Structure 1
């Protein structure tokens, strides 16, 4: 997905990509090779006629009157086609001065003049004459200041730097997107060893990792541009620094990975991939060291800055907010022990579920309810496994099953566990061996399940078992509701690497399950295991940091960390912020009536990386005290003991719910369309 989320932004990006491609920009780049004063006149004339670089300039001055985000969408689209001629400098200069033109912009005192070689005007912090040079980026002509005979009186360095970073990040997103698309398209058709290379897991994982990075770059670039349009310089500075940490290194890494997927052809001068790598390298060099940006992110976080994202409901909430506020305040006024039942009765515990258990609420209504409950101080209880089991019963169960299980589960009267994984079928769930044989009035289940949370206290379990051993793997599975108090069930705790026993293995020895506890029809189990309600839950947008990242910031606030360690903390703050922004973008897509984009699919992969890396960093920052930490525990009174518990516990995140490697296979095949 590109930076743009709204229909208008998506349409703008699509039209500009087509327009840019029609200019044959790469041919112009190659034709100008070695010419330090190349102006790319034809391309520039077309861009000037379109007003591409003046979108954020007021209409009264001859510009488009758009936002910085609109300008970012345009630059991303043009960078996708590698349009030459100085669009970035022109866009920065136009937004700074409020008038269109072809500007060279010096962002840092004594630094290179961005697009100075192709400019007709210059914004120079230190002043001087600009000499154009041919640099690493063959599609641009940046400049070198050769004397000091003038001084620019335009916007000062801090604001200029933020705007330059914001719009450069948009170009980085465009480069990243092209490299991802090019690599994936090649992997779909290139054959080696008799197979298309996209079917090789190594290539599939490389492409999936490119997708993760591309979505992170896109989210960070989008947020920086969105923050630029808000009236909060502190928030803009924070988001621009996060973009600095994420976008430019990310673009370089994806460009290098693209060449790796292309193989020998990608290393040739004739292929366009190296031109995109060159643009990425130049943008990274112009932006300056990401380590310095990471240290600034740490400093901002230590001072209390966190990214605050406001979701604009565009007035769609006006008709529903008064009632939502009244209900939320009424629930908040009840004793804590009565609030859960009140949430259930109002449909506010699961508003996305259909009536009478929810409201069948659309995304806007869900967001408003979230906001009003938060405002009133009402916390929803976590349904845990019931949040997976009950939607399946709602969608596929009988009326009697819904009557029996749904409301008691919402009220917390029933606790559920999930009996899916087996010792020989973890991520490969279709290979499960627990068997269910027909008996009088129901089924007899025998087998072993593992990694089952809360099995020791669950009332019911959702269980997959094989009812037809002769059917193909995915066809002969049935979905059962198992009473965990039934004869023949043995639960044994499994001690984990933290020393605690949160998981269990469950043995089923001829456990009787009546026919009325089969969901849907025998053989439907695989389909049911993969379904959810059509009206998905839309969470309230948030960009909060995770527990370990906050702990890392706390350690940085002591003043005892060195520069290298502070950089590491800043990188973790940036990654956690981006992970949260992926959720915000998914929320905004839902509010616009669209299904989730790729960011929702890679959010778990990036989120796992964030939580594991940040928890490990927290422990590492505390040095050799780890060797004498004493007994560890989540609730330990010793901070390092609790930190170590968190680090060890997060190792399960890249295993549970599908390993990272399997999820990358899924992302490669279902999102990128790579062959199996």
Structure 2
């Protein structure tokens, strides 16, 4: 997937990827390994003819009048196939000083760039001019002819840089001052375009590793069938999605004002560069010995990723800046432009929400349920069959009116199954009362010996007159101590294959034969329970669908899936870490850790936003929705541990009742509940990446 979300950007990315593949950039880079000057002139001519370098220039200067996001989409596509040459420096100069460099770029010239006084000059070979800063902060455009630039073959074999210039720039012939430029703006532009290239690198590494894992055999099986390799590839997918989201956002933020752009640039500097390096490393690991050869392209991408990270500066420095910005109250403001599609929906929703907001607090839930606003994506009469636009409008209006939608908890899983597969009598009996909060549900799925492996469950249901007798043990059941009803899976045909012979029951928790025993967790509390069923009678009318349909029903989701707008607020523990950073005099290492937490929390929101935008465009959720839980769990767990770490030796005085300690202990369950992280990575590897089953 391209960093661009629109059809136009998808088409641009696809077109440029096809064109870039034909340039055989990796082969060109190898062939020019010992040529520091003019190594990529033929490739650069193709880049100019394609118009890539001039995308960001105004039409009046011979460009395409493209946005920063347009340029980023193009650079991502070119980096995916490792197009060599001075594209990054030239594209950055075109955005920074279009009037000064436009004629040169439009005519096919390239521009070198240094990001600090005396620093290396990027893309120096064959450059017509160079953008340079002097020590007093003035930026200049200097003709290469008056500089003694000596390009070298460095780590990145697809680019050429020259040692820094240590001259009084104002005295050089034909040097032109570039008013309006400062180090901060140059840094933001460079990070934005380098992030786009990092996204292309990260995605190529993922694609290459997965393709190899599908065909390379060891011990008579494709290596992608081995869980260790599958997990490496799934982690690469998580990283690629994070890099893609951050690279997209920093390009979008370039039009959102300096404060927002600076915040997004620091998120990208942390996420994108390190993510590209990490995926390149992992790709080499999956490729094994072949990945370590000079003939394979993997090392060229690894070199490019390392060089990009050096270009934008230390991720730790970016993390410190990000922590300071967050402590000053800055957050990435996530905005969805509905482009007028909300006009028909909003007035009626606003009127209904206003009426509900006027009610006393205890009466609001019933009113929300009756209006179909609790789960608007559900079918009428329980919801509104709301599409993505209507769902966002409802969320916005509820938030504006200060009306909080209650969490349906387990009912949010039980009711969709009843709505889609249950009888009219079941729907009438359970759906509306549950929405109004009159019935509380629990989920009787997990067992001591099965966990996520529901196919191995042992709770049995035996035929009796008028129904079934359920016997077995369930565990990790939240709310069982106060639930009215439970959704329960039990085996009705012990001779059927593992995924068959399972039936979906609705169990009255007040039935004889049920014993609920609280399980005390590491927090000291008892959220979970063991539930013992001893010949518990369930009448036939409380079987959902047909006996044997349980496995299929357990995986039910309504076709019209929930769409939600991400919040500018960071994860709870990250906000707490920022609060500590704002109040305490933390050292640079601790502040960098806070900044990294802010970056990850922001990326999680961005991934949610991209999923929402896909829904608005009428597409099914992509990989970003599938990796959201994996990244979200890491975000919450790492953030909670960071907060505790910031307490230092004061932690010795804090018990489990301290909020920060409780959060740290409680979030340990997140990588277990609802499917362990390892199981989810297996699923991602098989269903999203197409790796073979083990």
Cα distance in 2 between the residues matched to 1:54 and 1:415: 61
Whether the 8 Å contact between 1:112 and 1:286 is mirrored in structure 2 is no
Residue 158 (1) aligns with residue 184 (2): yes
Equivalent in the alignment of 2:40: 40
Cα distance in 2 between the residues matched to 1:422 and 1:82: 50
Residue 119 (1) aligns with residue 127 (2): yes
Cα distance in 1 between the residues matched to 2:117 and 2:457: 65
Equivalent in the alignment of 2:173: none
Whether the 8 Å contact between 1:543 and 1:584 is mirrored in structure 2 is no
Please point out which of 494, 500, 505 is paired with 1:469: 494
Equivalent in the alignment of 1:31: 31
Of 327-336 and 108-117, more deviation after overlay is shown by: 108-117
Whether the 8 Å contact between 1:137 and 1:275 is mirrored in structure 2 is yes
Deviation at 1:497, TM superposition (A): 0.3
Equivalent in the alignment of 2:628: 603
Cα distance in 1 between the residues matched to 2:187 and 2:632: 30
Q: CA offsets, 1:124-154, max 9 Å, x none?
A: 1126733322110111112222331424622
Of 23-32 and 577-586, more deviation after overlay is shown by: 23-32
Q: How many residues align?
A: 667
Whether the 8 Å contact between 2:578 and 2:594 is mirrored in structure 1 is yes
Deviation at 1:302, TM superposition (A): 0.5
Whether the 8 Å contact between 1:188 and 1:675 is mirrored in structure 2 is yes
Q: CA offsets, 1:64-91, max 9 Å, x none?
A: 1121111111100000000011111111
Equivalent in the alignment of 1:135: 154
Q: CA offsets, 1:237-278, max 9 Å, x none?
A: 000000001111111111011011101110000111111111
Cα distance in 1 between the residues matched to 2:439 and 2:674: 23
Equivalent in the alignment of 2:219: 193
Residue 271 (1) aligns with residue 271 (2): no
Please point out which of 209, 225, 228 is paired with 1:202: 228
Deviation at 1:25, TM superposition (A): 1.9
Cα distance in 1 between the residues matched to 2:12 and 2:344: 31
Cα distance in 2 between the residues matched to 1:62 and 1:39: 26
Of 570-579 and 555-564, more deviation after overlay is shown by: 555-564
DSSP-derived class of the 1:585 partner: helix
Residue 650 (1) aligns with residue 667 (2): yes
Cα distance in 2 between the residues matched to 1:626 and 1:551: 15
DSSP-derived class of the 1:26 partner: helix
Cα distance in 2 between the residues matched to 1:21 and 1:497: 54
Residue 384 (1) aligns with residue 403 (2): no
DSSP-derived class of the 1:620 partner: helix
Whether the 8 Å contact between 2:446 and 2:476 is mirrored in structure 1 is yes
Deviation at 1:44, TM superposition (A): 1.1
DSSP-derived class of the 2:600 partner: helix
Cα distance in 2 between the residues matched to 1:528 and 1:469: 18
Equivalent in the alignment of 1:238: 263
Runs of 4+ off more than 6 Å:
none
Equivalent in the alignment of 1:638: none
Equivalent in the alignment of 2:610: 585
DSSP-derived class of the 1:519 partner: coil
Equivalent in the alignment of 1:247: 272
Whether the 8 Å contact between 1:54 and 1:95 is mirrored in structure 2 is no
Q: CA offsets, 1:473-495, max 9 Å, x none?
A: 10110000000000100000000
Deviation at 1:186, TM superposition (A): 0.3
Cα distance in 2 between the residues matched to 1:331 and 1:62: 57
DSSP-derived class of the 1:53 partner: coil
Alignment of 1:81-100 (within 5 A): 81-98=81-98, 99=102
Q: 1:118 to 1:530 in 2, by over 3 A?
A: farther
Equivalent in the alignment of 1:211: 237
Cα distance in 2 between the residues matched to 1:116 and 1:161: 18
Structure 1 gaps of 5+ residues are 634-640
TM-score (norm 1): 0.97
Equivalent in the alignment of 2:194: 168
Whether the 8 Å contact between 1:55 and 1:65 is mirrored in structure 2 is yes
Whether the 8 Å contact between 1:482 and 1:513 is mirrored in structure 2 is yes
DSSP-derived class of the 1:462 partner: strand
DSSP-derived class of the 1:505 partner: strand
Deviation at 1:6, TM superposition (A): 1.3
Alignment of 1:61-100 (within 5 A): 61-98=61-98, 99=102
Deviation at 1:314, TM superposition (A): 1.3
Equivalent in the alignment of 2:580: 555
Equivalent in the alignment of 2:686: 669
Equivalent in the alignment of 2:18: 18
Of 457-466 and 534-543, more deviation after overlay is shown by: 534-543
Cα distance in 1 between the residues matched to 2:306 and 2:246: 18
Q: 1:206 to 1:335 in 2, by over 3 A?
A: same
Q: CA offsets, 1:29-56, max 9 Å, x none?
A: 1221111113412211111122112222
The CA RMSD measured in Å over matched residues stands at 1.2
Cα distance in 1 between the residues matched to 2:604 and 2:353: 29
Deviation at 1:115, TM superposition (A): 1.3
Please point out which of 514, 527, 535 is paired with 2:539: 514
Residue 632 (1) aligns with residue 656 (2): yes
Equivalent in the alignment of 2:366: 341
Cα distance in 2 between the residues matched to 1:335 and 1:460: 28
Alignment of 1:388-403 (within 5 A): 388-403=413-428
Whether the 8 Å contact between 1:478 and 1:525 is mirrored in structure 2 is yes
Cα distance in 1 between the residues matched to 2:622 and 2:5: 10
Whether the 8 Å contact between 2:245 and 2:603 is mirrored in structure 1 is yes
Whether the 8 Å contact between 2:2 and 2:9 is mirrored in structure 1 is no
Cα distance in 2 between the residues matched to 1:404 and 1:66: 57
Cα distance in 1 between the residues matched to 2:494 and 2:2: 46
Whether the 8 Å contact between 1:104 and 1:114 is mirrored in structure 2 is yes
Deviation at 1:632, TM superposition (A): 2.4
Whether the 8 Å contact between 1:291 and 1:567 is mirrored in structure 2 is yes
Structure 2 gaps of 5+ residues are 135-139, 171-175
DSSP-derived class of the 1:465 partner: strand
Whether the 8 Å contact between 1:118 and 1:132 is mirrored in structure 2 is no
Whether the 8 Å contact between 2:470 and 2:533 is mirrored in structure 1 is yes
DSSP-derived class of the 1:117 partner: coil
Equivalent in the alignment of 2:3: 3
Alignment of 1:500-579 (within 5 A): 500-579=525-604
Whether the 8 Å contact between 1:40 and 1:84 is mirrored in structure 2 is yes
Please point out which of 246, 253, 257 is paired with 2:282: 257
Whether the 8 Å contact between 2:121 and 2:163 is mirrored in structure 1 is yes
Residue 220 (1) aligns with residue 220 (2): no
